[in-house]
A and B are shown apart, each in its own frame.
Chain A
């Protein structure tokens, strides 16, 4: 396997990858707004009901929501790979440390580790555990003295997937039409090189079928112009999926491009790993910057600053308001007169949402229906 130099815009430099840089015609991407996630696990259950109810998938969650900093699925996945990778320094917005491809041990394609079976046994370990001590007599202040947040995770359908780079059988492939990364269920022989390689631990070993399985980005829905199960069922409306372009080709009317490239409020998870992951997170505004910088890179403070201006920025508010507004993919959006309109791939109108929900005040007694109302919002 030759080593090639490829361009990774998230770390603002070239890096080594086992294959050449080949970008798909379109790239599946998603933005998750962490500030709105309440860890209700509706996404987790929607995914599980749809894809992983089979034997061998009992502890397999293609979508999971974990508490941070003390929640993990599988156990300690992030701290283990962060420790293995060593110091990760940024020179401004350029990553000067090593990616997991560059840090690969002798004879291996990537730096990685293989979890134990028991690491998957407690999918919601550390739930709601805050960082910091709650002392006697403490009361809530802003900012909070203790903090935690929820991190919803699916496969990142990376531009440079470590699973693809590590598979000696080329049994994992990235689709040319939408950049979705899939494990060929016929070709896989269950070597688990991908499970070892994926730093996000989003490729799983199925003990019953003896091969690897992973999130398929609900491609049957994506092909029909719809959003994935985890995204369309999100009751907090924290998620949106669509197509993401390269920064230099960003289209301001595309909500993905607008949030990721233009406003830069949505950031990749652990960009320093070098995979160019395609799920982007709006970082939580109440969490200390050093922790967030390690997780989302150097753009995190600016992202939070910009996000806080959304109430006065109609376009940004509009982009955030189309989240969860339709089961179909919102490929374009436009804000006009306090209303955001979402359009599909063809440019046909999908949905109209007011930026501010209108308030209706109804009388306690409805004359027409002859009923009393109370506690109505």
Chain B
């Protein structure tokens, strides 16, 4: 879909124009830029605190994190596509304590969908980062063949996992998915999963190949989900993302609404945003990485708008 040479020529022409435009804009507003980026909600600041990071979404420590709002749009890049969704946005907050990073994601959803049945699907949320081995930014939609993404996935059904029907069970010797070692089929101890992807339909669980070092927890209350992800700043494995105090990392979001039949590619998504890990130094240290990223963001926005217009 993205390989058509003619289209990419046109696209690269447009890209050049956009880059020029952004560079001009940024040169003019150089000293003001970091503030500008914050005010536009492009960077979420992982505020530095001391002590243990909270796993509970209700923990008061989250009051010390400044959040930003992320608009979400239905996924229209790959089939099956969605065009409408009741989920329009989420709020993200982040904290770090020089050893660990934690994210709190909250969004409005009137129904708590945690049960799974033939035609019932679970609510879920995911964070996406470039893998540490990816040079530059991968494609925001599930990464690309050159550059992989690291996805942290939380699912309501895993948070309150039911044991299914044991009533009629005669034997557990015939659980195909379990025998095949499918992580979706096996009993889960955590509601989160660490994935790597290099494009649509390629998300692969890394629990077996790598150390599962993400923890998480979610709660639904009064029409609102609150989900926490937590992980050490650095993590082994070339597919995992690595964070560093005083640096900026791209991140993107996806939300699934079970009651609307969301699963797999049926979801609402964002393009790349950025998380900055607070340090005592000046805010402007985030300037250069963001400057580089921001140009690409504009191009992506253009591409998405183009795709949306083209889709029949």
Which residues on A are within 8 Å of B, measured CB to CB? 1-2, 51-58, 106-109, 114-117, 119-120, 166, 168-170, 184-193, 195, 205-211, 213
B119 lies within 8 A of A52 (CB): no
Alpha-carbon separation in the docked complex, A1 to B169 (Å): 40
13 contacts between A and B (CB under 8 A): A55-B169, A57-B174, A58-B165, A107-B76, A108-B80, A114-B119, A115-B119, A116-B119, A117-B120, A185-B180, A185-B182, A190-B263, A208-B185
CB closest residue in chain B, given A193: B80
Q: CB-CB contacts of B57-86 with A at 8 A, as 1s and 0s?
A: 000000000000000000010111111000
B176 touches A209 (CB 8 A): yes
- Count residues of B near A (Cβ-Cβ below 8 Å): 43
B115 to chain A, nearest CB (A): 10
Residue of B nearest to A208 (CB): B164
Nearest-CB distance from B111 to chain A (Å)? 17
Q: A53-B174, A186-B182 known; A109 and B80 CB under 8 Å?
A: yes
Q: Does B52 contact A (CB under 8 A)?
A: no
Interface of B is mostly: loop
* B303 within 8 Å of A (CB atoms): no
Q: Is B181 an interface residue (CB 8 A)?
A: yes
What is the CA–CA distance of A159 and B174 in the complex, to the nearest angstrom?
Answer: 28
B288 proximal to A (CB < 8 A): no
Q: By the criterion CB–CB under 8 Å, are B118 and A117 in contact?
A: yes
6 further A-B contacts with Cβ under 8 Å, apart from A207-B164, A210-B184, A213-B176, are: A117-B117, A120-B118, A169-B201, A169-B203, A188-B184, A208-B175
Q: In whole angstroms, how far apart are the Cα atoms of A184 and B182 in the complex?
A: 10
Are B118 and A108 in contact (CB-based, < 8 A)?
Answer: no
How far apart sit A189 and B120, CA to CA, in the bound complex (Å)?
Answer: 14
Q: Which among B182, B202, B203 is the interface contact of A188 at CB below 8 angstroms? A: B182
Compute how far the CA of A78 lies from the CA of B178 in the bound complex, rounded to whole angstroms.
32
Asked if A107 and B80 make an inter-chain contact with CB atoms under 8 angstroms apart, the answer reads yes
For B116, B164, B173, B182, the residue with the greatest tally of chain A CB atoms inside 10 Å of its CB is B182
Cβ B182 vs Cβ A54 within 8 A: no
B264 within 8 A of A: yes
Distance of A187 Cα from B172 Cα, bound (Å): 21
> Which of B76, B164, B181 touches A186 (beta carbons < 8 Å)?
B181
**B289: Cβ under 8 A from any A Cβ:** no
Task: Please report the C-alpha to C-alpha distance between residue A107 and residue B82 in the assembled complex, in whole angstroms.
Answer: 7
CB distance from A10 to the nearest CB of B (A): 25
Please name the residue on chain A nearest to B162 by beta carbon: A207
CA distance A114 to B261 in the complex (A): 10
> Does B5 count as interface, using CB distance less than 8 angstroms?
no
Which chain A residues border B172 with CB–CB below 8 Å?
A: 54-55
Please tell me which one of the listed residues A57, A115, A189, A209 contacts residue B118 in the complex, with CB atoms under 8 A apart.
Answer: A115
Report, nearest first, the 7 A-B pairs whose CB atoms are least far apart: A54-B174, A107-B81, A209-B177, A185-B180, A209-B185, A191-B264, A186-B180
Q: A106-B83, A168-B201 are in contact. Are A189 and B78 (CB under 8 A)?
A: no
Chain B residues packing against A (C-beta within 8 Å): 1, 76, 78-83, 116-120, 164-166, 168-182, 184-185, 200-203, 261, 263-265, 311-312
CA–CA, A311 and B201, complex, Å: 54
Q: Is the CB of A210 within 8 A of B116?
A: yes
Q: Out of A52, A168, A186, A188, which one reaches B80, CB within 8 Å?
A: A168
- The interface residues of chain A lying within 8 Å CB-to-CB of B178 are 209
Looking at the assembled complex, report how far the CB atom of A339 sits from the nearest CB atom of chain B, in whole angstroms.
Answer: 43
- Asked whether, in the complex, the Cβ of A169 is within 8 Å of the Cβ of B264, the reply is yes
The distance in angstroms between the C-alpha atoms of A56 and B167, with both chains bound, is 10
Closest to A108 in B: B80
User: With A55-B166, A170-B201, A211-B182 in contact, is A109–B118 under 8 Å at CB?
Assistant: no
Closest to A170 in B: B201
> Do residues A210 and B265 form an inter-chain contact, with CB atoms below 8 A?
no
A210 to B176, CA, bound (A): 10
User: Is the beta-carbon distance between B164 and A56 smaller than 8 angstroms?
Assistant: yes
CB atoms of A168 and B78 under 8 A apart:
yes
Bound-complex Cα distance A184 to B261 (A)? 23
Chain A residues with Cβ below 8 Å from B78 are 1, 168
Residues of B within 8 Å of A188, CB to CB, are 177, 182, 184
Q: Cα distance A53–B176 when bound, in Å? A: 11
The docked-state distance in angstroms from the alpha carbon of A209 to that of B175 is 6
Specify which chain A residues have a CB less than 8 angstroms from the CB of B265 in the assembled complex.
168
Among A54, A184, A211, A213, point to the contact of B171 (Cβ < 8 A): A54
* B76 A211 Cβ-Cβ under 8 A: no
Return chain B residues, CB-CB under 8 Å to A209.
175-178, 182, 184-185
- Asked if A53 and B171 sit within 8 Å, CB to CB, the answer is yes
Report how far A184 CA is from B1 CA in the complex, Å: 25
B186, chain A: closest CB distance, angstroms: 9
Centre residue among B168, B170, B180, B185 by max chain A CB count within 10 A? B185
A2, A109, A193, A207: the one within 8 Å of B117 (CB)? A207
